[in-house]
Amino acid sequence: MTISRLVNRNVVAERGRTSMRLEPELWDMLSEICEREMQDMSTLVRRIEAAGHAGGRTSAVRVYVANYFRAAATEAGHAGAGHGPILRGRLTEMTRSAA
């Protein structure tokens, strides 16, 4: 029997109080987004729901988190985090050509 890592938390969504089950890392990312956007979790979830998504609420939240951080990702940020040798190579080339 596999034990789920999902964490159940209550939020106030469009139709009232409900619960969502997400991985701890996604809850952390949602909290970070709330801090950056200066809003509480329930407001963010209602905003995500209002944007519309073919899947359910939890799916919409997962997609929103992925898109939020994807939009914020930059070549320099990826290279600084050590993500992918291709990106590091491009950054090195960009640095050389700028000098």
pTM summary value? 0.73
- Based on its alpha-carbon atoms, the radius of gyration of the chain, rounded to whole angstroms, reads 18
| pLDDT tens digits, 30-88 | 999 999 989 999 999 999 988 887 888 899 999 999 988 888 887 777 667 666 665 55
Return left, alpha or beta for 84; rule: phi > 0 is left, psi -120 to 50 is alpha, else beta: left
Q: Is 25 exposed, middle or buried (0-12, 13-18, 19+ CB in 10 A)?
A: exposed
Domains of the chain: 7-74 (1.10.3990.20)
3-class state of residue 53 by DSSP: coil
By three-state DSSP, how is residue 18 classified? strand
- How does pLDDT run across 6-21, given as a tens digit for each residue? 999 999 887 788 899 9
Residue 29: the pLDDT is 94
**Position 98 confidence tier, pLDDT thresholds 50, 70, 90:** low
pLDDT at 4: 86
